[in-house]
A and B are shown apart, each in its own frame.
Chain A
Amino acid sequence: MSMNEQPAWDGRTYYNEPQLRAAPFNNALVGGYIFLAGLSGAAQLLTTVMDATRGPGAASTTRRGRYLAMLAPTVGALCLILDLHTPQRFYNMLRLIKPTSPMSLGSWVLVGFGVTSTATAVLQFAADRLRGSRLRGVARITQVPAALAGAFMSTYTASLLSATSTPLWAAAPKSLAVRFASSAVASAAAALGLGERNDRRRRDLDNLAVAALAVELAATLASEHAERQVGIDDGGKQSAGRAAVPLVLLLTSLLLPGFLGRAVSTLGSVAALGGGLAMRVDTLTEGDTSARQSHRSLRFAQPDNLPRA
């Protein structure tokens, strides 16, 4: 009997028992890593763009960006290792390269990003202490591969989640990737903007964060639309606020002059960072719930949701 001859599903489940297994991740650790990977990766990328356009004039911003990029290879990598159920074998992540596994690809991207970002940060540190050295020039070279790896760091984690059978992560692979990528750029701009004493550069960074948050907001609405389309929307809480709140704050700050503007900008940047972290952790938790609810996973696996050939 072919698929179309099958009687339609009447909506009943097997005693409400889960049909899928939720990921056995510690959502604080993995969500924390996804956030830090995005923050560090995008910070390296923005720093490189800043260095290319402003040069030595923006040296203080560049320095902070390069140090910020060290969060993922240090704290982030530690989160990942701690999340393993057999952490002493963490090095098995580098036994092979597997194109069908975003976790395998991501491990290699993390290594590449870690090596190039560490080199850039160390060169920065040394150049600040050895006057007249050529190290600054070398850092301008090493930052380029670091920035490219940073672009992948900001977004591969979304592919990692979408390449599973968890309904909420699999439902809208493209908009999830856009959300993670834009949120990464927003949090990097916000983090750089927080410590920025130069008013013009702070405004530039705030403008960039506003653009990224607007993209994130649009992609969040697109995700929710896709979830309704495939029939797995749980009618639950709206998640748009995590991007909308910092967006409104930062927009307001751009209209306000002087001290008031700076204060609201600080608030907006903190909200962007907090929203970025919360979005990652909530995505993990809500995905786990969707995997445990068989009425949603069985609905997601109906033929009308098959990719068009």
Chain B
Amino acid sequence: MEMHPRVSDHAASDLDRAIADEAELTAGIRIRPGRSYGFFTDTTLCIGCKACEVACKEWNNLPADGIGLTGHSYDNTTALSADSWRHVMFIEAGVRDDLAQPFQSGWLMMSDVCKHCHNAPCLEACPTGALFRTEFDTVVVQQDICNGCGYCVPACPFGVVDISLLDGKAHKCTLCYDRLKGGLEPACAKACPTDSIQFGELDELQERARRREADLHRRGVAGAYIYGAPGTPGATGGLGHLSAFFLLTATPETYNLPRAPTRPANRIAPSLAAGIATVFGLAVAALSLFTRSAER
């Protein structure tokens, strides 16, 4: 990757102020309100270092979570939660094939995150308006409004958003809303040493992902595919595209991802219609019962 010319303006590592539009130097883009931003997580580049998890915890001041060892893999975080907004998964995909290319180790690694869904079920469910869509087209919980009803939690098709028992509010990845406002790229993407996590404008990222997918196919990784871009697994059932999307090399289920999730709000109308019809049907039954015996 070429260096941005402005990089040489900042030779000292000890800064006395924030660098204006720093994302231009670290991710090659200027962050502007009114545009759509997201993450492209290319799992073929993930080395499982968990720098993203640490950077996220540090920037967002998140408490420690799930201290202990699972024993099943190097994954001791186990799930996204109120206190873990990036989660690196470790999947042992069988014995390493010596004929394979060097990047194809026996382990699959993937840094999971909130998908910032286009028709976000958490946002659609939120009764207080605490969950809202920002000027960067991301989905964020406003902590000063959330009353901890917890309805966003079962709404999410990916098991992301969670209530913290420490403060009784819902928490999840904000796509570093505060950093975006300050012109910085999200902490996880900046920290990722292999660029497995890439931050950028959504159109550009989707384009980049398609190029990467084609490139991998050319190089013999036939199973590489995109999850969460329009028309791919994950972006199904009325959810629209996912602003945080992935490049995967095994079935979605391998990464604990639903293959064909659906938009929960689409179930409201049929359910309400059936329920109201039943109540009124039984009310008519009551009407005829009560009238008949009144006449007797």
| A residues adjacent to B (C-beta < 8 A) | 1-3, 5-10, 12-15, 17-25, 42, 45-46, 49-50, 52-54, 57, 83-87, 89-90, 92-93, 95-96, 98, 100-104, 107, 151-152, 154-156, 158-160, 162-166, 169-170, 173-178, 180-182, 184-185, 189, 200-201, 203-204, 207-208, 211-212, 215, 287, 291, 294, 297-298, 301-303, 305-307
Which residue of A10, A163, A185 is within 8 Å of B267 (Cβ)? Answer: A163
Task: Give the complex CA separation of A52 and B153 in angstroms.
Answer: 44
Contact A159 B267 (CB under 8 A): yes
Instruction: Point out the residues of chain B lying under 8 angstroms from A200, CB to CB.
Output: 293, 296
Given contacts A21-B156, A165-B121, A178-B275, whether A54 and B260 have CB atoms under 8 Å apart is no
Q: 0/1 per residue, B69-102, Cβ < 8 Å to A?
A: 0101101001100000000010100000000000
Contact in complex: A155, B256 (CB < 8 Å): no
Contact between A14 and B256, CB atoms less than 8 A apart: yes
B3 at the interface (CB under 8 A from A): no
Is A46 touching B256 in the complex (CB atoms < 8 A)?
no
Chain B neighbourhood of A7, CB < 8 A: 223, 251
Contact present for A53 and B89 (CB under 8 Å): no
How far is the CB of B240 from the nearest CB of chain A, in Å?
A: 13
Which candidate, B23-31, B52-60, B174-182, B278-286, is the interface stretch facing chain A?
B278-286
CB-based contact B275/A155 at 8 Å? yes
The minimal Cβ–Cβ distance linking A82 to chain B, given in whole angstroms, is 12
B104 contacts partner chain A, Cβ-Cβ < 8 Å: no
Asked if A24 contacts B163 (CB within 8 A), the reply is yes
Interface SS, A side? helix
Known contacts A92-B145, A173-B270, A103 near B260 by CB under 8 Å = no
- 8 shortest interchain CB distances as A-B pairs: A85-B148, A155-B275, A301-B258, A85-B168, A177-B275, A1-B225, A89-B147, A14-B256
Closest to B257 in A: A19
A3-B232, A12-B253, A207-B289 are known contacts. Are A86 and B272 too (CB-CB below 8 A)?
Answer: no
> CA separation between A307 and B294, bound complex, in Å?
47
B293 close to A204 (CB less than 8 A): yes
Q: Residue among B91, B223, B274 with the most chain A CB within 10 A?
A: B274
The answer to whether A156 touches B253 (Cβ under 8 A) is no
Chain A proximity mask over B160-179: 1 for CB below 8 Å, otherwise 0: 11110101110000000000
* Chain B 116-141 residues near chain A, CB threshold 8 A: 121, 124-130
Q: Return the contact of A182 from the options B150, B282, B290 (Cβ within 8 A).
A: B282
**B-side interface size class:** 35 or more
Which residue on B lies nearest to A181, using beta carbons?
B278
Which B residues are CB-close (under 8 A) to A298? 253, 256, 258-259
- A95, B268: Cα distance in complex, Å: 21
A85-B150, A101-B125, A173-B274 are known contacts. Are A17 and B251 too (CB-CB below 8 A)? no
CB distance from A238 to the nearest CB of B (A): 22
Our pick among A23, A92, A98 for the contact of B154 (Cβ within 8 Å) is A23
Contact A53 B287 (CB under 8 A): yes
Query: With contacts A23-B150, A162-B271, A215-B278 known, is A49 near B287, CB below 8 A?
Result: yes
Pairwise interchain contact A208-B286, C-beta atoms closer than 8 A: yes
Listed by A's residue number, 22 A-B pairs whose Cβ atoms lie within 8 Å are A6-B233, A9-B251, A10-B251, A12-B254, A15-B70, A15-B72, A20-B159, A92-B128, A92-B145, A101-B265, A151-B283, A152-B276, A156-B272, A159-B275, A163-B271, A164-B125, A165-B264, A181-B274, A181-B282, A185-B283, A301-B259, A305-B260
- Among B73, B156, B162, B294, chain A packs the most CB atoms within 10 A around the CB of B294
Given contacts A20-B158, A151-B280, A307-B266, 6 further A-B contacts (CB under 8 A): A9-B253, A19-B257, A50-B290, A84-B168, A155-B278, A177-B274
Interfacial chain A residues near B281, Cβ < 8 Å? 215
Q: How far is the CA of A177 from the CA of B269 in the complex (A)?
A: 11
CB-defined contacts of B232 to chain A, threshold 8 Å: 1-3
In the assembled complex, which residues on chain B have CB atoms less than 8 Å from the CB atom of A151? 276, 279-280, 283
In the bound complex, CA of A207 to CA of B290 (Å): 10
Q: Which residues of A contact B41 (CB under 8 A)?
A: none
Q: Does B193 contact A (CB under 8 A)?
A: no
Closest to A26 in B: B150
B154 A176 Cβ-Cβ under 8 A: no
State how many angstroms separate the Cβ of A64 from the closest Cβ of chain B: 15
CA distance A95 to B149 in the complex (A): 14
In the bound complex, CA of A306 to CA of B258 (Å)? 12
- A155 near B155: Cβ-Cβ < 8 Å: no
B279 touching A163 by the CB < 8 A rule?
no
CB of A84, distance to nearest CB on chain B (Å): 5
Contact A21 B124 (CB under 8 A): no
CB neighbours of A203 from chain B (8 A): 293
Which partner residue on chain B sits nearest A203 by CB separation?
A: B293
Q: Are A176 and B271 in contact (CB under 8 A)?
A: yes
Whether the Cβ atoms of A86 and B276 lie closer than 8 Å is no
CB of B213 to closest CB in A, whole Å: 8
Contact of A301 among B260, B280, B293, B294 (CB under 8 A): B260
**Given A93-B127, A306-B236, are A6 and B151 also a contact pair (CB < 8 Å)?**
no
Contact B147 A104 (CB under 8 A): no
Name the B residues within 8 Å of A14 (CB-CB).
89, 91, 253-256
Q: Does B129 lie within 8 Å of A95, measured CB to CB? A: yes
B183 at the interface (CB under 8 A from A): no
Do A49 and B283 contact each other (CB < 8 Å), given the known contacts A1-B225, A98-B129, A204-B290? yes
Q: Which of B151, B280, B287 contacts A101 (CB 8 A)?
A: B151
Asked if A84 contacts B261 (CB within 8 A), the reply is no
